[in-house]
A and B are shown apart, each in its own frame.
Chain A
Amino acid sequence: MSAREFGEAWALSQLSPGIHLVALAGLIGRRIAGWRGVVAAVAGMMIPAALITVALTAAYGVIAASPLARAALAGVAPVTGGMTIATAGLLIRASGRHGRAHLATDVGVSIAAVVATLVLGMPTLAVIGAGAAVGALALGRERPTSRESSVG
């Protein structure tokens, strides 16, 4: 697989719904070994990680009710909230790689979404639909060209 092929697979994976790394694994798998490659690449990425995730969750469940775990959770909760907010920043950074004017647009659209959901009480699904419509009509003039992103 050439660097150019990988770059194109990466760009296409960023357009997929859900976890982009799964799409990337699928595209690489197909390129290398057809549909069997898709199954092998995606299973290899997801099944061990899912098993480890379930094992960790089950292990945590054993101690979850203890006072120490409750205390730790009081610190972990704001951290995960902060991580969630930072993920928004990473999404905007990945989207706005086209200079300052675009960054202003991107931040503006994101703030509109915050206001729509927190102030106006708009349903989550409606906010996503509005974003899709605004994007398709007004934000499509430039293609995403960069390969850098930290959003998995």
Chain B
Amino acid sequence: MDALALLGVFLKASLLSLGGLSSLPLLRADLVAPGIATDDQLVQAIAIGRISTGPNGLYIVSLGYLVAGVVGATMALVAATLPPLVIVPITAVARRWLLATPVAGLVRGVALATAGLLVATGIGIVTATGSPSWWQLTLAAIAVVLTYRGTLHPALVIAIGAGAGLALGR
């Protein structure tokens, strides 16, 4: 995949998502399904994105690097940075319109559809190997609870997974 096509995929995912990880279902559909990236790479990118500083959505920079090196990371950074900024000129001319109810409803609908897609994507990641074992399913359940509650730093949740993998995954 050439750099411009990759930029297009990342831009599309960024433009049609609402915050953080919500670009993931589109990226998995556009990159993993056609074989450009693997679920393993997706997992590595999400994990590194959670360990690294900055917004969670920067996991796509890690994914870009895994798929196409520094060029891929640059494309991902551009795609992560530009779409959110459309809000700046729009608020300058149409702040009232933006806070009007049809727009709020549209955003709410997209958020809820994305929530459903994220559940499907999460299930897809957990079952990517075919048949996850009991300890992998347990880890997934623990990660759901810890992440939803948000009291433990995500890097520590990742570390729990890595530790369990080292102990049980060989």
Contacts and interface: CB of A to CB of B under 8 A. Distances in A.
Contact of A75 (B99, B116, B139): B139
Given A19-B14, A72-B162, A75-B166, 17 more contacts: A15-B103, A17-B15, A49-B52, A49-B58, A57-B73, A74-B136, A75-B164, A79-B143, A81-B122, A81-B123, A82-B147, A88-B114, A90-B150, A95-B111, A127-B113, A131-B114, A132-B110
23 contacts: A15-B87, A16-B86, A17-B14, A18-B15, A18-B23, A18-B80, A19-B58, A20-B19, A26-B88, A49-B52, A49-B53, A78-B125, A80-B143, A81-B126, A87-B22, A91-B118, A112-B116, A113-B113, A115-B116, A117-B116, A124-B25, A128-B16, A128-B117
B157 interface: yes
Most B C-beta atoms less than 10 A away, residue of A83, A115, A124: A83
B40 A49 contact: no
A50 interface: yes
B131 interface: no
B119 A76 contact: no
A63 B33 CA distance: 26
A45 B14 CA distance: 17
Which secondary structure dominates where chain A touches chain B? helix
Interface residues of A, number: 94
Contact of B81 (A22, A58, A110, A124): A22
